[in-house]
Amino acid sequence: MGTLEGKVALVMGASTPGGMGDATARRLRREGARVVVSGLGEQPLQELAQEIDGLAFESDITSKQANADLVNFTLENYGQIDLAVNHVGLATRGPIAEETEEHLLLMTEVNYFGTYWFIRAVADVMQVGGAIVTTSSLVAYDVSTGMSAYACAKAAAERFVEAAAVEYSPKRLRINSIIPSINDTAMLRKGIEERGNDFDEFVGLYKELTPLGRISTPEDIAGMVCLLLHPEFFETGQHIHCSGGNSLLGQPRLLVTQDLK
């Protein structure tokens, strides 16, 4: 019997095969939870749901109504929501001097508003003792050229996690975030390519700055998420690193990226 047997879990941002949401959904199912996967992309969601004997519901996290519809779908099919995870993220570059209102709003809608609507929709229907994990970023802490809109949105989302942990305290909900460093996902590879860098070279320098000797994988993130969702994890309103230790090094990460480009 898995450690999450009898629980119902909702995973937002699970439509990218091999991504963090995909890995988290699979890990939660192995731990015994019944899982609903969501995000943008009906076909990959349905394929994942079929593989893990779960359910899929396509939903845009930036929409307050879409989040409500997702929650209602889960309740109609499984009757409860005990655990919820948000892995949605969008990071595109925009130097401050060239920033546009459209890009600034896009980063905010996906990374802050989406987190806000998702957590609120889930927390409102959770029973006492539920758990929610959302995904932050090291960029919210370390200055990175051209990433101010993304960084500010992620920082705002972290503050909201803290506020939600306090406001939902009568329900004893555990609401936390994880802070991945660079993680081997399609979004990372695309971002590195857009900067004109070689992926292996970029990652190789990060490995040298990581005490555990490698960058994290989606499976590492899934494992950390499960730790935070476990009923024995007695904490809320916190932001937990999952970086293999390179979060200890601060500005050297920035120097690495500047040296490459």
Q: Phi/psi at 73 (nearest 5 deg)?
A: -60, -45
- What is the residue whose two structure tokens read 């904490």? 235
Furthest-apart CA pair in the chain: how many Å?
55
Q: How many CB atoms lie within 10 A of CB 111?
A: 29
Q: Where residue 190 falls among pLDDT bands split at 50, 70, 90?
A: confident
The answer to whether residues 184 and 214 touch, using CB atoms and an 8 Å cutoff, is: no
Look at residue 141 in the predicted model and tell me its pLDDT: 84
**Two tokens at 238?**
């916190």
Quick one: CA dihedral 168, 237, 143, 190, positive or negative?
negative
- The 8-class DSSP code of residue 182 comes to S
Indicate the class that CATH gives domain 8-183+216-248: alpha beta
Q: What is d(CA 118, CA 126) in angstroms, rounded to the nearest whole number?
A: 12
Q: Which residues are within 8 A (CB) of 54 and not within 5 positions of it... i.e. 6 or more apart?
A: 25, 29, 34, 35, 36, 37, 48
Nearest to 177 by CA among 236, 246, 116, 107: 236
Burial level of 114, CB count in 10 A (0-12/13-18/19+)? buried
In the chain, where are the structural domains located?
8-183+216-248
pTM equals 0.91
Q: Where residue 253 falls among pLDDT bands split at 50, 70, 90?
A: low
Q: Phi/psi at 95 (nearest 5 deg)?
A: -55, 145
Q: Where residue 47 falls among pLDDT bands split at 50, 70, 90?
A: very high
Whether pLDDT at 122 is above 90: yes
pLDDT tens-digit readout, 53-100: 999 999 999 999 999 999 999 999 999 999 999 999 888 888 899 999
Look at residue 1 in the predicted model and tell me its pLDDT: 53
Q: How many CB atoms lie within 10 A of CB 247?
A: 18
Percent composition of the chain: helix, strand, coil (DSSP 3-state, to 5): 50, 15, 35
pLDDT tens-digit readout, 147-159: 899 999 999 999 9
**Two tokens at 39?**
């995000």
Report helix, strand or coil for 240. Answer: strand
Q: Which residues are within 8 A (CB) of 37 and not within 5 positions of it... i.e. 6 or more apart?
A: 11, 14, 15, 21, 25, 45, 48, 49, 52, 54, 55, 56, 57
